[in-house]
């Protein structure tokens, strides 16, 4: 057989998580979903991913319970959007750990500052963790936003999970 190895059901939770999350595009889809993207066409154009690959990735993420496919009205028509579930939104620490590692050990071709996290409740920057570095209050997802110094808009609120 030469099918790619899967670690579904393995005893090691790192391997099981990697089996779901560590496929090409998957983490970037989750990143953009966390930043508020919900629609097929928006994922496609923001990521530059081939649409057949996007179809299979989104289907797998829905299957594994990280995204849900919900109908919405677009003018008079019904379309579908992909929204984060709790499982999908709880991948945030993985994204933050990756971002911290990427900031420390890789470099950008473009001028790009480090990834920043804003505690909207107090308005200050913080590192990911249990409490805010600036005001000391517990960090809850609703009060967090990403800030990318290279983008014109100030902050990107983190999308709420459905359900």
Partner DNA sequence: CACCTGGCTTGCTCTTTGCAAGCTAGCTAT
Partner DNA sequence: ATAGCTAGCTTGCAAAGAGCAAGCCAGGTG
Q: Residues in the site for DNA, rule: CB under 7 A?
A: 1-5, 23-25, 39-42, 48-53, 55-56, 58, 74-77, 79-81
Work out what residue 75 binds among a copy of itself, DNA, none; the CB cut-off runs from 5 to 8 Å by kind.
Answer: DNA
Tokens read off for 26: 């998957």
Question: Cβ contacts of residue 39 below 8 Å, gap of 6+?
Answer: 79, 81, 82
13 binds a copy of itself (CB under 8 A): yes
C-beta of residue 29 within 8 angstroms of C-beta of residue 43: yes
What single-letter DSSP state applies at residue 141? G
Work out what residue 39 binds among DNA, a copy of itself, none; the CB cut-off runs from 5 to 8 Å by kind.
Answer: DNA
Binding mask 117-136 for a copy of itself (x = CB under 8 A): ------------xx------
9 binds a copy of itself (CB under 8 A): yes
For 38, list phi and psi in degrees, rounded to 5.
Answer: -130, -20
Q: Partners of 68 in the beta sheet?
A: 83
Question: Cβ contacts of residue 37 below 8 Å, gap of 6+?
Answer: 43, 46
106 binds a copy of itself (CB under 8 A): yes
Which residues bind to a copy of itself, rule: CB under 8 A? Answer: 4-5, 7-28, 31, 48-49, 65, 87, 90-91, 93-110, 112, 114-115, 129-130, 148, 150
């Amino acid at each position: 057989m030469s099918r790619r190895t899967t670690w579904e059901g393995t005893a090691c939770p790192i391997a099981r998580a990697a089996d779901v999350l560590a496929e090409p595009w998957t983490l970037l889809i989750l990143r953009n979903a966390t930043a508020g993207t919900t629609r097929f066409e928006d994922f496609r154009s923001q990521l530059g991913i081939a649409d057949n690959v996007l179809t299979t990735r989104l289907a797998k993420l829905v299957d594994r319970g990280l995204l849900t496919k919900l109908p919405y009205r677009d003018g008079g028509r019904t379309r579908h959007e992909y929204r984060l579930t709790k499982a999908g939104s709880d991948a945030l620490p993985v994204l933050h750990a990756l971002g911290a590692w990427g900031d420390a050990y890789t470099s950008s071709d473009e001028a790009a500052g480090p990834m920043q996290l804003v505690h909207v409740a107090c308005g200050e920057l913080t590192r990911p963790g249990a409490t805010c570095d600036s005001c000391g209050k517990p960090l809850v997802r609703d009060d967090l936003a990403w800030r990318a110094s290279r983008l014109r808009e100030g902050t990107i609120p983190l999308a709420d999970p459905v359900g």
